[in-house]
Structure 1
Amino acid sequence: MTLRAAGALLLALTVAACATPRYAPGPQPGVPPFPPPGRPEPAAPPLRVIEVSQLPGWTGDNHAEAFAAFRATCHAAKDAGMARACRAARAASPLSAQEARRFFEAEFQALETPGEGVLTAYFAPEYEARRAPDAVFSAPVRPKPADLVNGQAYAPRDEIEARPADDAIAWMRPEDLFFLQIQGSGVLTFEDGRRMKALYAANNGLPFVGVANPMRDRGLLARDNTSGEAIRRWLADNRGPAADEIMRLNPRYAFFRLAPDDGKQPVGSAGIPLPPGRAIAVDLAHHGHGELHWITAEAPVLRGAFPSYRRLVTALDTGGAIKGEVRADLYLGLGPEAGAEAGRVRHTLRMYRLIPRERRP
């Protein structure tokens, strides 16, 4: 599986903390149900198609960067219209910002996805690790168990952690392993300086449960400070039974394998390395790999976040916590700087799918 397919994302921790549940009222006395029996539900309004040049914030994007990312990843799309646009992009030389902008405006129109959703972000972490355990590096990185069958429920986190770890492939700080499991892959640096990629191998098939909500409810974190960075800092400061109790609220557990560090970006579920800032994880029940989207995300919830994200991105990944049509998780890159930014992204999202002109509705 992939960076996001480990089952959740770093910011899924924060989504639960900030979400307000909404409940539809039940039937009221004397009020007929809607729609009345025998009457079909009203048809959904037609989707709005606009020119790419009219997208909110379009002129402010780095179009040359967006074109380079599209050119490198457009082969992930399977439909004929996108394949034609991909061939045109690959036949072109690297374009200037103005040329790239004209390319997108000539090749595509934008289809507005109705409604609002949530933008979060993720990254590929880099952590210290050890070949043998000690008082600090006490959490084993476990390989996929021989008796685990993909797609079937396995033991929960607490049961797995209670088992012997004679087959551990590395040892990490507990809070670092917890976040590695959320991200799905990362780079480990061992005591001799050797760097290895920890690649997702499997998970225990249990649902991901965010810990931000209970941490907020217990008064462990402020309502506007439930970022991944804040959660990890609390877990590190309270390493031991208190932190273990919080982490075990999430029953999902990921297993890994090691590979040499090639210095490249991680691969998403589309099988393509993720361009930082230009790839999103989406719900594949609503979107396809290789789709090109314009995202505009504002109104951040978490302290210290950038005020907005407006850019062209490609759907190259997925994740267990990414559900819904207007829902995206933005990949921001490798290392702690990307992690600090990713942990603060929780913005109100609108999405527009770019469609080749020959495929207009």
Structure 2
Amino acid sequence: MRKLLTLAALALVAGCATPNDTSSSLSLTATGFDALAGWEREDFSSLMPVFRQNCHRLAQLPPETPLGGAETLPYGREAGDWSAACAALETTTDTRTYLQTWFQPYTVDAKASYTGYFEPQIEASLTRGGPYQTPVYGRPKDLVRTKATNGQMVTGRWENGQFKPYYDRAQIDGGVLNGQGLEIAWLKSPVDLFFLQIQGSGRLILPDGSQIRMGYDGKNGQPYVPLGRVLVQDNELASSAVSMDSIKAWLETHPDRMMATMERNPNYVFFRRDDGSLAQGATGAFGVPLTAGRSVAIDRSMIPFATPLWVETKLPDAKGQPAPWQHLVFAQDIGTDIKGAGRADLFTGWGAFAQYVAGNLHEGGRMVILLPRPPADSSAP
């Protein structure tokens, strides 16, 4: 999973990334459900499948498994913290009552910032030939993660007994991985590959019309450099004009500079074939399929996986106008550039409208996190 994409902002981000276990401080204020704008209009019946999906995943984890979240959170940072709420789910007949009984809302004391990401649909072939000349690489066998002397996890490769950074985008584009049998599909354009890597997953449309999904399977560990920011710094695009469409258009109209510009982002994502149902989204970093309009990528150092979040923001409608959007979503993914309190990347699904919404979503608003109540809490049965 990623997992996650800031299309209308300067920073285009990868949809999924390796989880970050770093804890930090998050300022919260307890509030009531009656203070949530639009709460009474929510479609509560549609939430139950996502809740059950999360609880099934949590049940697979040892109780002490860290889910992430700031050290200042009162509860919900370990898988076992959710056991009572998940057990109660089995006998729930009224989702709204269940939520108000088993969860406590807390307003995040920071202005929220929302963006969107989606699953692109890209023409591809499983064999090289004709217009299909750009490889989609699987994870190389020599790509490893290990603990550095400072205790941080790092990505790289071993060479003659020394641990070195993994090859960057320019080296990989130059053919350093050729001959290893890593090619799992072929695309028509390096630009298609670049944006597939930004999203972290995508659907490939094969010549016979069938579709397969590419899922995230690691990255090279090189720093992520937002291409939108590069083009703004070079005075090629105005900051107000940065979007997926404007960046793609610039690349396609500057073929002589296309590769060199993309290679200024040394980060490179590898894929695997994901044979999960195409009726759902790709699997996010939490290990469950993403649900359009219900899954978000978050900063795991701030918010634990599985946490419900009440979102109050605006989404572009079919006419391109921002419209109020107030719904419950779930922390199921992470992204390279999804950092800080109140930051979330909404998974919008796949297809043209999902791409349009994700590409034009860059809004502020309010975020409220719903943490499970401890079993001893008198408000819980």
Q: TM-score range by the shorter chain?
A: 0.7 to 0.9
User: Contact between 1:322 and 1:329, CA under 8 Å: does it hold in 2?
Assistant: yes
Q: For the structure 1 residues 262 and 279, does the alpha-carbon distance in structure 2 shift closer, same or farther, using more than 3 Å as the test? A: closer
Q: Deviations over 1:199-226 (max 9, x none)?
A: 2222110111111123234444343331
Distance 2:312 2:352 in 1: 25
What does residue 3 of structure 1 align with?
A: 2
Q: Which has the higher helix share?
A: 1
Give 1:128 deviation, angstroms. Answer: 0.7
Q: How does 1:8-87 map to 2 (within 5 A)?
A: 9-11=4-6, 14-16=9-11, 47-76=28-57, 78-80=78-80, 82-87=82-87
Contact 1:52 1:108 in 2 (8 A): no
The corresponding residue for 1:156 is 168
The verdict on how the C-alpha distance between 1:146 and 1:106 changes in structure 2, with shifts beyond 3 A counting, is closer
Alignment partners' CA distance in 1, 2:200 and 2:300: 18
Q: Residues 81 and 358 of structure 1 are in contact (CA less than 8 Å); yes or no, is this contact kept in structure 2?
A: yes
Cα deviation, 1:173-208, whole Å, max 9, x if unaligned, reads 211110111111112122233422212222110111
Q: How many aligned positions are there?
A: 322
Structure 1 residue aligned with 2:272, among 257, 271, 274?
257
| Distance in 1, Cα, partners of 2:141 & 2:101 | 53
CA-atom RMSD in angstroms = 2.9
Question: d(CA) in 2 for partners of 1:86 and 1:233?
Answer: 47
User: TM-score, length-normalised on structure 2?
Assistant: 0.75
Residue 212 (structure 1) aligns with: 228
1:25-58 deviations in Å (ceiling 9; x for gaps): xxxxxxxxxxxxxxxxxxx998421111211232
Which residue among 243, 251, 255 is the counterpart of 2:258? Answer: 243
What amino acid does structure 2 have at the position aligned with 1:148?
L
1:131 & 1:175 partners in 2: Cα distance?
18
Q: Which amino acid letter does the alignment assign opposite residue 86 of structure 2?
A: C
Label 1:145 to 1:103 Cα distance change in 2 as closer, same or farther (>3 A).
closer
Larger deviation, residues 144-153 vs 168-177: 144-153
Aligned to 1:188: 204
The correspondence for 2:186, drawn from 141, 147, 171, is 171
Residue segments in structure 2 that go unaligned for 5+ positions in a row: 13-24, 59-77, 146-154, 157-164
Change (3 A) 1:46 1:252: closer
1:84 alignment partner AA: A
5 Å-filtered alignment, 1:227-238, equals 227-238=243-254
CA distance in 2, matches of 1:277, 1:108: 21
In the other structure, the counterpart of 2:306 is 290
Partner residue of 1:113? 108
Checking the alignment, whether the CA contact within 8 Å between 1:229 and 1:340 is kept in structure 2 is no
Aligned counterparts of 1:190 and 1:180: Cα–Cα separation in 2: 15
Tell whether 2:257 aligns with 1:276: no
Counterpart code for 2:240: D
Once the two structures are TM-superposed, the CA of residue 107 in structure 1 deviates from its matched residue by 2.9
In structure 1, C-alpha distance between the alignment counterparts of 2:276 and 2:205, rounded to whole Å: 10
User: Once the 2 structures are TM-superposed, how far is the Cα of residue 267 of structure 1 from its aligned partner?
Assistant: 0.8
Contact 1:196 1:261 survives alignment (8 Å): no
Taking structure 1 as the reference length, the TM-score comes to 0.79
Name the counterpart of 2:132. Answer: 137
How much has 1:228 moved relative to structure 2? 1.9
5+ long unaligned stretches in structure 1: 18-43, 94-98
2:9 match: secondary structure: helix
Question: Which residue matches 2:119?
Answer: 124
Aligned partners of 1:129 and 1:351: how far apart in 2? 39
**Does residue 347 of structure 1 match 2:359?**
no
Structure with greater strand share of residues? 2
